[in-house]
């Protein structure tokens, strides 16, 4: 599809105070100032940047186009109505304030891919100067403009802060996270705007699909129709009006991966690998943002979503489709009744229940599954099951003992039902450290032949085992500490989680959530 033709000299006419209707312009970038967004616009011949003697703003009723990310950088729009006001600067050069009151998006920036034409910055004399031969701008001027634009983008997305002297640049938390995981500043801005203290896994999957890293996911000819057919097979609906969007396609590919659906073509297999390869670092960055804000529920849901991506299964809710036990090879919904019998339960068993029920004995599996699975497949199910670790942990607490000046190391009971004698007394406003140590190497580790990779047959690349320890208050829904670790039996070191005791006295239960990631 060809790019819509920009309206020649529309910028010049706007700056001369003419009321224009139905002019086609390109929005090169935007920057929020107060309640409105300023716009850097171009007609292909002239452009109006932010730092000039003209100020172009979008009316507040158009803010939704920015917050919903419909209006992207380099989008081509039709301006149906605008207002041009001269601004007197008391002796200085008069400037103009242009308010774009009504516009419609003709082509999104991700589809345009860059600047249309070779526009020059508009000034009151630019129209006369444009007809005369011009010497090219010095390279330093062009470079300064690029740097200024980059700094404005990073400041707008809260990745950096610029000091009042306009000389000092400080890195913000979001900027460090973007740098650590090689992510676009637009992605961490999306996390800032969309993540909340109680983001559900559906919210997180939508945010994951909408990141800037997936903007280049190809949607080929007629793939919108294939996406529509794939959407009918996926359990969760997508916007039927955006089936040609790379982000909608990414959402469908994730759902197809979790549901283990057949894909329409080999291109979709390639695209799925691209999506999955990016997903882990994006989710790790998302987890860091949630941890920085102390959001326990969101952090745990992100960890579950990581598991879904790695294992290629739904892991949420009581729906039989959403059970961790189906990550095992060759098992699917028809095998659920047999698994219920193995676990002696009426509900769909979890992976943990199956591990305990089998108890490392092959005959318990074969008794119920022998009619459904061949012996070789049965062996693969059993090998996968015993390769999953039940890691025995020793947990201690370092810190000040109340009514003493002693710093001690006290054991922590991990039982779900605590007696009064099991509660540990601590001092308000003091910092304590939880120490987590593997008490012994599981016997199943020997069966693994020192394998360092997690069981993840549906992930495109071998995934080394890693663990994430989260300490938080369930009652207050607060995350207190988070620590990532490599394989526990390799590290042979104690994992430490430091936290500060609340200022108000009382009993606080701080579960430690251990997750393989």
> Is 452 contained in some domain?
no
Distance, CA of 482 to CA of 467 (rounded, Å): 11
| Whether residue 51 is found in the same domain as residue 98 | yes
Residue 313 domain flag: no
pLDDT of residue 446: 43
Is residue 96 included in any domain, yes or no? yes
CATH at residue 239: 1.10.3380.10
Residues 407 and 498 in one domain: yes
Distance (Å, rounded) from C-alpha 128 to C-alpha 169?
A: 39
From 387, 404, 429, the end of a domain falls on 387
Q: Which segments of 262-315 does DSSP mark as H helices, in order?
A: 266-292, 296-311
Residue 201 class from Cβ within 10 Å (0-12 exposed, 13-18 middle, 19+ buried)?
Answer: buried
Domain with 421, as residue range(s), is 393-439+464-516
Structure tokens at 89: 């600067």
Q: Could you write out the three-class secondary structure of 209-255?
A: HCCHHHCCCCCCCCHHHHHHHHHHHCCCCCCHHHCCCHHHHHHHHHH
Residues 112-124 as b or e (16 or more Cβ within 10 Å = b): beeebeebebbee
Q: Does any domain span residue 468?
A: yes
Q: Are residues 335 and 359 in the same domain?
A: yes
38 assigned to some structural domain: yes
Q: Are residues 155 and 50 in the same domain?
A: no
Boundary residue ending a domain (70, 105, 130): 130
pLDDT of residue 231: 95
Mean per-residue pLDDT pooled into runs of 10, the chain (517 residues): 76 77 86 77 79 70 84 88 63 65 87 84 57 56 74 88 81 93 94 94 95 92 94 93 94 95 94 94 96 95 93 72 80 87 87 85 84 87 80 82 80 67 77 80 48 79 84 86 76 76 71 49
Do 14 and 46 reside in the same domain of the chain? yes
Residue 140's pLDDT is what?
63
453 DSSP 8-state letter:
B
- Measured between alpha carbons, how far is 284 from 191 in angstroms, rounded to an integer? 12
Write down the pLDDT at residue 258: 93
Q: Token digits for 52?
A: 């000039």
How many domains would you assign to the chain? 5
Global pTM value: 0.68
Burial of 394 (0-12, 13-18, 19+ CB in 10 A): middle
Question: Does residue 310 contact residue 454 with C-beta atoms inside 8 Å?
Answer: yes
Asked if 60 and 102 sit in the same domain, the reply is yes
Backbone angles phi, psi at 247, to 5 degrees: -75, -40
The answer to whether residue 113 sits within a structural domain is yes
Q: Does 297 share its domain with 343?
A: no
State whether 422 and 377 are in the same domain. Answer: no
Rounded Cα distance between 290 and 195, Å, is: 8
- CA distances to 335, 392, 462 from 356, in Å: 18, 14, 27
Whether residue 19 is found in the same domain as residue 102: yes
Is 314 contained in some domain? no
Contacts of 301 (CB under 8 A, 6+ apart): 199, 200, 201, 204
Both tokens of 110, joined, read: 């991700």
Contact between 140 and 147 under an 8 Å Cβ cutoff? The reply is no
What is the pLDDT, as a whole number, of residue 400? 83
- The verdict on 185 and 300 lying in the same domain is yes
Q: Do 158 and 125 have their domain in common?
A: no
Supply angle C-alpha 318, 320, 325, rounded to 5: 100
Q: How many Cβ atoms sit within 10 Å of the Cβ of residue 223?
A: 19
Last residue of a domain, one of 247, 277, 305: 305
């Amino acid at each position: 599809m060809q790019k819509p033709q920009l309206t020649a000299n529309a910028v010049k006419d706007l700056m001369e105070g003419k009321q224009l209707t139905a002019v086609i312009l390109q929005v090169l970038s935007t920057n929020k100032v107060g309640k409105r967004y300023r716009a850097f616009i171009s007609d292909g011949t002239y452009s109006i940047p932010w730092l000039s003697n003209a100020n172009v703003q979008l009316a507040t009723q158009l803010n939704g186009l920015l917050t919903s990310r419909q209006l992207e950088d380099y989008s081509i729009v039709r301006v149906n109505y605008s207002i041009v006001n001269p601004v007197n600067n008391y002796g200085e050069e008069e400037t103009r304030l242009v308010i774009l009151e009504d516009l419609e998006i003709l082509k999104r920036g991700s589809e345009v891919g860059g600047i249309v034409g070779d526009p020059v910055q508009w000034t009151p004399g630019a129209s006369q100067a444009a007809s005369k031969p011009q010497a090219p701008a010095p390279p330093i001027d062009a470079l300064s403009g690029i740097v200024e634009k980059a700094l404005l983008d990073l400041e707008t997305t809260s990745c950096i802060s610029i000091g009042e002297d306009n000389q000092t640049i400080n890195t913000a938390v979001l900027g460090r996270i973007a740098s650590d995981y090689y992510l676009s500043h637009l992605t961490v801005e999306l996390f800032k705007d969309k993540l909340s203290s109680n983001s559900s896994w559906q919210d997180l999957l939508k945010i994951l699909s909408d990141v800037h890293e997936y903007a280049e996911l190809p949607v080929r000819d007629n793939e919108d129709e294939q996406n529509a057919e794939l959407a009918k097979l996926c359990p969760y609906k997508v916007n039927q009006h955006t089936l040609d969007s790379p982000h909608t396609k990414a959402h469908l590919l994730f759902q197809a991966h979790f549901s283990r659906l057949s894909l329409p073509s080999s291109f979709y297999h390639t695209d799925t690998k691209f999506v999955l390869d990016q997903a882990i670092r994006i989710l790790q960055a998302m987890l860091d943002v949630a941890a920085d804000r102390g959001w326990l529920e969101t952090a745990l849901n992100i960890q579950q979503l990581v598991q879904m991506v790695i294992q290629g299964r739904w892991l949420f809710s009581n729906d039989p489709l959403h059970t961790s036990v189906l990550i095992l090879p060759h098992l699917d919904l028809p095998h659920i009744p047999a698994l219920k019998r193995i676990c002696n339960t009426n509900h769909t068993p979890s992976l943990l229940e199956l591990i305990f029920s089998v108890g490392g004995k092959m005959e318990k599996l074969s008794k119920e599954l022998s009619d459904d699975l061949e012996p070789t497949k049965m062996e693969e199910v059993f090998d996968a099951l015993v390769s999953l670790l039940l890691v025995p942990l020793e947990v201690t607490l370092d810190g000040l003992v109340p009514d003493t000046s002693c710093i001690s190391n006290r054991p922590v009971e991990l039982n779900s039902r605590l007696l009064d004698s099991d509660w540990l007394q601590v001092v308000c406003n003091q910092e304590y450290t939880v120490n987590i140590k593997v008490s012994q190497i599981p016997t199943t580790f020997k069966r693994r032949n020192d394998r360092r990779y997690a069981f993840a047959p549906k992930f495109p690349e071998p995934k080394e085992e890693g663990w994430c320890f989260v300490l938080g208050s369930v009652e207050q829904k607060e995350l207190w500490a988070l620590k990532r670790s490599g394989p526990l039996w390799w590290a042979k070191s104690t994992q430490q989680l430091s936290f500060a005791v609340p200022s108000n006295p009382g009993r606080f239960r701080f579960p430690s959530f251990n997750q393989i990631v």
